[in-house]
């Protein structure tokens, strides 16, 4: 079972509940507490929009049918199949919906809804497809979107590292994601991970987010991110737990940890400098620590505590 928060205060936040806990929670909700219905509804919209459910299944009530649809999506996208919408599944749902929205020419917010349904119907009509508003297998094929991720194999270390760098550089150039929007510390990456607090005017989540960016990137690239949380120091703990912590010879894809409480992703390094991309960092355009930028600094006298290399999941 799972719940997705979807309101003016929080978007695309996946939570997991065991069946017994879910039953107890739902039993405790009074008529004035409609949040549970709202929570699960967005996930159902996303699944229905990609034909894992029907639109009539969008009822805001979590149950075996929704869990089964989540499991089917996870199978198609080579994710851990547990029927739970955690950070990885949540991110993949958003990514797939965003691709559909881009193809259909509508707002790319990663959230299926009536506007996306209407845009897909229009696109289907223009391409002589059944006009059901769903990005089903035929529609996604016509849009050039891979519905099935194949083969379901683990990337090599080199493949994962290259993907980490590609994602980081793409995100640093993405003006829709590379700075805070909607308030202090309101950022895309904490939102995608379902962490932080609400209150952002655009529905994003808010917390210090340099570690969240690294975690999000590594998840997307296929890295094991167990033990990483919102603290920059958790990357040092990660490296030590996985035997990849080192204080010299930084490698591309590594997390570089600064002892003052900051972390980024190494792009390249020489004997004297390091180039890295980090979030929640100083942005010359605003004068605040609110950007996702690439920087090159000296390796000496810069409070670098060390480096953690990612491991393949």
- Structure confidence at residue 37 (pLDDT): 53
Cβ neighbours of 313 (radius 10 Å): 16
- Structure confidence at residue 218 (pLDDT): 96
Is the pLDDT at 8 greater than 80? The verdict is no
Contact 4, 43 (CB under 8 A): yes
Contact 178, 224 (CB under 8 A): no
d(CA 155, CA 125): 38
- Structure confidence at residue 25 (pLDDT): 37
- 100, two tokens: 């559909």
Tell me the per-residue pLDDT of 73-110, one tens digit each, with 9 for 90 and over. Answer: 999 999 989 999 988 898 899 999 999 999 999 999 99
- Structure confidence at residue 114 (pLDDT): 98
d(CA 171, CA 167): 6
Using CA atoms, how far residue 177 sits from 7, 24, 134, 213, 283, in Å, is 20, 38, 27, 11, 14
- Structure confidence at residue 163 (pLDDT): 95
What domains are there in the chain, each with its CATH number?
2-143 (no CATH), 157-312 (3.90.1720.10)
Is the pLDDT at 287 greater than 60? The verdict is yes
- Mean pLDDT on 25-32: 34
Tell me the per-residue pLDDT of 221-280, one tens digit each, with 9 for 90 and over. Answer: 989 999 999 999 999 999 999 999 999 999 999 999 999 999 999 999 999 999 999 999
Residues 6+ apart with CB under 8 A from 224: 242, 310, 311, 312, 313
Mean pLDDT for the chain?
88
Contact 116, 101 (CB under 8 A): yes
What DSSP line would sit under 99-163, residue for residue?
HHHHHHTS--SS---HHHHHHHHHHHHHTT---SS---HHHHHHHT--SS--S--PPPHHHHHHH
């Amino acid at each position: 079972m799972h719940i997705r928060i979807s309101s003016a205060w929080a978007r695309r936040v996946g939570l997991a509940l065991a069946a017994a806990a879910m039953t107890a929670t739902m039993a405790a909700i009074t008529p004035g507490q409609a949040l549970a219905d709202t929570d699960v509804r967005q996930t159902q919209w996303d699944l229905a929009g990609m034909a894992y459910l029907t639109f009539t299944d969008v009822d805001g009530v979590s149950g075996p049918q929704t869990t089964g649809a989540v499991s089917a999506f996870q199978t198609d996208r080579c994710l851990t199949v547990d029927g739970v919408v955690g950070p990885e599944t949540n991110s993949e749902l958003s990514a797939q919906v965003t691709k559909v929205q881009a193809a259909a020419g509508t707002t790319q917010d990663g959230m299926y809804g009536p506007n996306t349904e209407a845009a897909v119907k229009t696109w289907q009509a223009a391409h002589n497809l059944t006009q059901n508003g769903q990005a089903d297998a035929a529609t996604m094929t016509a849009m050039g979107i891979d519905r099935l991720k194949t083969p379901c194999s683990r990337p090599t270390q080199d493949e994962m590292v290259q993907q980490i760098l590609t994602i980081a550089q793409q995100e640093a150039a993405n003006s829709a994601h590379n700075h805070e929007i909607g308030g202090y510390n309101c950022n895309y990456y904490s939102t995608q991970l379902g962490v932080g607090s609400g209150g952002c005017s655009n529905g994003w989540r808010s917390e210090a987010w340099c570690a969240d960016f690294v975690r999000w990137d590594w998840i997307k690239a296929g890295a094991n991110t167990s033990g990483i949380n919102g603290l920059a120091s958790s990357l040092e703990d990660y490296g030590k737990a996985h035997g990849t912590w080192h204080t010299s010879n930084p490698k591309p894809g590594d997390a570089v940890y600064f002892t003052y409480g900051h972390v980024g992703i190494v792009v390249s390094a020489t004997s004297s400098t390091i180039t890295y991309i980090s979030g929640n960092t100083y942005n010359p355009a605003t004068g605040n620590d609110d950007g996702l930028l690439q920087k090159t600094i000296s390796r000496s006298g810069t409070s670098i505590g060390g480096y953690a290399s990612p491991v393949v999941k």
